[in-house]
Amino acid sequence: MFRLKVHKTRVAAAAAASATRNATTTTTHGNHYQYLQTSKLPTLYFQRSLPRLPIPLLEKTCERFLAAVQPIVSGEEYAHTQQVVEQFRQGIGMELHAKLKQRDEANKHTSYISQPWFDMYLADRVPLPLNYNPLVVLKNETRPEYQQQVVRATNMIISSLRFWRSLQASKLEPEVYHMNPKKTDNDNYRRWMSIAPKAFATYASYAFKAFPLDMSQYSRLFGTSRIPRLGKDELVLSPDAKHILVMRRGNMYTMNVLDSSGYIESPSVILGRLKSLIALDAQKAPASVPLGVLTSAQRDEWANSRAHFISSSKNADLLQREVDSALFCLCLDTEEDGVYNESDPTPLLKELLAGKSTNRWFDKAISLLVSADGTTSINFEHSWGDGVAVLRYLNEIYRDTTKQPYVSASTPHTPAEGDTSNVRYLDFEFDDRMRADVETAYAKNASVMANLDMNTLRYPKLNKGTCKRHGLSPDSIMQLSFQLAYRQAFQRYVGTYESCSTSAFKHGRTETMRPCTMATKAFCEAVLQPSQKQLSAGELRAMIDKCSSVHGQLTKDAAMGQGFDRHLFALKHTAQLEGLPLPSLYETEAYKRINYNIISTSTLGADTVIAGSFGPVVKDGLGLGYSIMNDMAGAIVTTYKDQARGKEFIDSLEAAFDTICAVIERSSSADKAKAAVRN
């Protein structure tokens, strides 16, 4: 009785000290603490009624493919491609399309792309860092008392668990894209939806111009690990786990964060356990054999190492019971690993993206990385899901930790020193082979990272306000700038990748947009003409508008499942399943070139994010993370030093921004002058 009373007092003190809660409003077992949201609509309310991802018409796919390859092939290559595509459309393509439709009809519970896409990810043998796992860096806390590493980590843990518990209890708000949030993101909309039959709920929502999104990926956010296997990995889910994996200086620990009934432990308890873990680690040397390095290895190499490692029953138990099943991974970095420097963020970004890999477990669905200065990032394994689910989680926990953090620098904690049942050091057994395997993986990753170049650009003259003022699509302007920058720097046009979510459909994943178009090519060629041959500002502006129109249509097509990449991918996969020869379309130079994505882009347009990065997808390519915010446009470009010239591209990108902004301003000035004359 006395212990319970003391415990409640500590919780109340913690809440008062952090100035974020009225301690009398709830207990730690109450909904207010246990759930981040208590939605009136169950989380999966719309899932049953979501439309199925359509398979595009074969004729349309062929047309779209030809339009996409035209800017990047010669006239002769294009003419040849047209012939091959027409033969494909009238021949083997029709047969494969019919078989794909038949297979899709027999699997109405999912989408035609879902399983092949999982297989594609899991069968690839390349290392996860740089090749697949992206990095997203959250904005820092502006209040110093919440930015300290252990404080921010504790709040991130609690908010993550509140998100997870809401999801498990079906209390997390369904993911809905509101065309006009002020009119529909409200209780009135939810009341109408609550009386709509589940079989038709999605279509009822459409009447409000509110579009429900697939949420099947959310169940894999927590308690999911990618397990290396020879030939093809597997995903293992442990939704009932009550602990997280914590890494510091390569040492590995697990820490209970839920009690035996599945409730989130109190803030003072979680803070106390994390502090005791850090104190315990301070008594140890950095890991002499940092096992996590192996998760950066080529997948078959890691699979072989893991098979040997778990031949020890102790290792097998610890790895499977503690690591694989953990809800997520928390990586606590030290000063040596770097801190955030706004004037030069690249050293820290490189470390967070892949770095030395000694303090990472890249196989977890989600890893929270908290630097010594409190900078918090997410590094996530990509096979299980895409950006929609990750960004939702990221936005929710950022808002939760900043609006209502549960602990601060002055919060009392419940001591946990010596509590080995709740804070556990993973004392693995290593033999000479495992030591050698870790050393080899470390050396390979270090070699790759030494060859990785990263360049950044912040451009304040272009921002959301600029685009809105001139009636332009921010994304189309950014993509046009990339095409102009590459053409200026390297005198050619190349395969370019932009991802678009198809989560408006059941088990949708992504579709590829191809931002290098005949419209962008025409503009680039026009604007690069000598001054005496230059078109007027008005004519160039009309070409920018044309680029924006084409880009907008590509976006709409992709979002509605009417791209061509996934369809062609599925037809190729069908041929493989049927044991048929690879159709000649897939052997054309055009197909190879469009799928050799030298410019791979991903937008990071969230107000919770300050940076994001990923590796190039081909050896001589650019990994281009970009955003256009209220105050600036920005880009982070990764390249391999001996393969591509990232600094030249970034310099050219700044010049491209200058050029496009100048065209827009000149055109606007000319329009104003004409209006003044008319008046």
Tokens at 71, concatenated: 């800017």
pLDDT digits (tens, 9 = 90+) for 553-603: 999 999 999 999 999 999 999 999 999 999 999 999 999 999 999 999 999
- Integer-rounded Cα Rg, in Å, for the chain is 26
Mean pLDDT rounded to a whole number for the chain: 94
Q: Is 382 a catalytic residue?
A: yes
- pLDDT for residue 396 is more than 90: yes
Which residues have a Cβ under 8 Å from the Cβ of 389 and sit 6 or more positions away?
215, 217, 218, 221
- Region 200-206: mean pLDDT is 97
Pick the CATH number of 132-173+219-450 from 3.30.559.70, 3.40.50.11540, 1.10.760.10, 3.30.70.20: 3.30.559.70
Residue corresponding to tokens 């708000």: 173
pTM, two decimal places: 0.93
Each domain of the chain, given as residue ranges in start order, spans: 132-173+219-450, 453-563+596-678
Give the model's confidence band at 17: pLDDT under 50 very low, under 70 low, under 90 confident, else very high: very low
- pLDDT for residue 668 is more than 90: no
- Region 270-277: mean pLDDT is 98
Which residues is 541 bridged to in the sheet?
Answer: none
Which residues is 227 bridged to in the sheet?
Answer: 234
Which run of H or of E encompasses 247?
A: strand 243-248
- Contact in structure between 221 and 236 (CB atoms under 8 Å): no
Which residue of the set 29, 382, 413, 470 is catalytic?
382
The CATH number of 453-563+596-678 is 3.30.559.10
> Residue 219: CA atoms inside 13 Å, Cβ hemisphere, count?
15
Cα–Cα distances in Å, from 501 out to 194, 303, 355, 557?
26, 31, 29, 11
pLDDT digits (tens, 9 = 90+) for 30-79: 999 999 999 999 999 999 999 999 999 999 999 999 999 999 999 999 99
- Contact in structure between 626 and 603 (CB atoms under 8 Å): yes
pLDDT digits (tens, 9 = 90+) for 246-262: 999 999 999 999 999 99
- pLDDT for residue 392 is more than 90: yes
- 440: phi then psi, degrees, rounded to nearest 5: -65, -45
